[in-house]
Copies of this chain bind each other. A is one copy, B any other.
């Protein structure tokens, strides 16, 4: 049994409502044509900090009792969770300590600093990140907020899909990317019994979908299994093609990790099992390095 249920997602939605954008649902006939069925894009690339991650970070930070919150929050992250946590902490007026690997992009580091987070840099290995985070936690007494292996974060992530189902009636399928599985876990909890598909890059270690360079935790794996989530693997070429099509046809700047969900929807549609289906896609983020585009 995991402790996140639809009630927890609804509570998260109420808790974070004052702090987040209720992002729009976008439609594009041209995108429908490319994927091969009706697509409803939940535009969380337009969320604060440009990613759905702000939902989970905000739910976690706002859930903390005041004495704990005052100690601050901490995480290791090279990506959107870092910025999301820093901003969520700033909104509550508490410190954020973020351990970032040396190879994190300058833009991502700058975002954390802009929101007032304290950045500590470490080597690029997972071991180095964990070790330095342990030091930071000991030094500061801060509360760790894991990017996905955390019930508050998963419940917060699920609020995007909850809003989508409130806005669009009769969805047959919802598609998300899968990295650590937080977004997909929150989504299937929020929309059950609607069919959920999760897209992953074929090579997790080296994919350009930098938000997905990680694996499931025991908790997220159990949730996906419990809900019968279908996992679909896509190639780098499919990710790049999807990203470019979304840019060109919808004029929305989405990041490679978000493109994975569109690529997965197209791959499944090609198999014919989405014919006539109303398909929601959770567009997870829009933080792109404009100086190194993949085409």
Q: Is A293 part of the binding interface, using a Cβ–Cβ cutoff of 8 Å?
A: yes
A249 to B, closest residue via Cβ: B50
User: Interface readout for A224-267 with B: 1 if CB under 8 Å, 0 if not?
Assistant: 00000000000000000000100110011110000000000000
Contacts A247-B253, A251-B45 given; does A290 touch B293 at CB 8 Å: yes
Contact A290 B244 (CB under 8 A): yes
Contacts of A293 in B (CB 8 A): 290, 293
Indicate which residue in B45, B248, B251 contacts A46 across the interface (CB closer than 8 Å): B251
Copies, count: 2
Determine the distance from Cα of A277 to Cα of B194 in the docked complex, in whole angstroms: 47
Contact B286 A295 (CB under 8 A): no
Size of chain A's interface in residues, with CB distance under 8 A? 16
Determine the distance from Cα of A127 to Cα of B142 in the docked complex, in whole angstroms: 71
Q: Is A291 part of the binding interface, using a Cβ–Cβ cutoff of 8 Å?
A: yes
Determine the distance from Cα of A253 to Cα of B254 in the docked complex, in whole angstroms: 10
Q: Which of A42-91 contact B (CB under 8 A)?
A: 45-46, 50
Determine the distance from Cα of A46 to Cα of B43 in the docked complex, in whole angstroms: 14
Indicate which residue in B24, B50, B251, B291 contacts A253 across the interface (CB closer than 8 Å): B251
Contacts of A247 in B (CB 8 A): 253, 290
Contacts of A286 in B (CB 8 A): 251
Determine the distance from Cα of A50 to Cα of B249 in the docked complex, in whole angstroms: 8
Contacts of A244 in B (CB 8 A): 290
What's the nearest-Cβ distance from chain B to residue A156, in Å?
Answer: 20
What's the nearest-Cβ distance from chain B to residue A39, in Å?
Answer: 16
A46 to B, closest residue via Cβ: B251
Known: A247-B253, A251-B252, A290-B293. 12 other contacts (CB 8 A): A45-B251, A46-B251, A244-B290, A247-B290, A248-B290, A251-B253, A251-B254, A251-B286, A252-B252, A253-B253, A291-B295, A293-B293
- Pairs of residues from A and B, 3 with the lowest C-beta to C-beta distance, nearest first: A251-B286, A251-B253, A45-B251
Show 19 residue pairs from A and B whose CB-CB distance is below 8 angstroms, ordered by the A residue: A24-B24, A45-B251, A46-B251, A50-B251, A244-B290, A247-B253, A247-B290, A248-B290, A251-B252, A251-B253, A251-B254, A251-B286, A252-B252, A252-B253, A253-B253, A290-B293, A290-B295, A291-B295, A293-B293
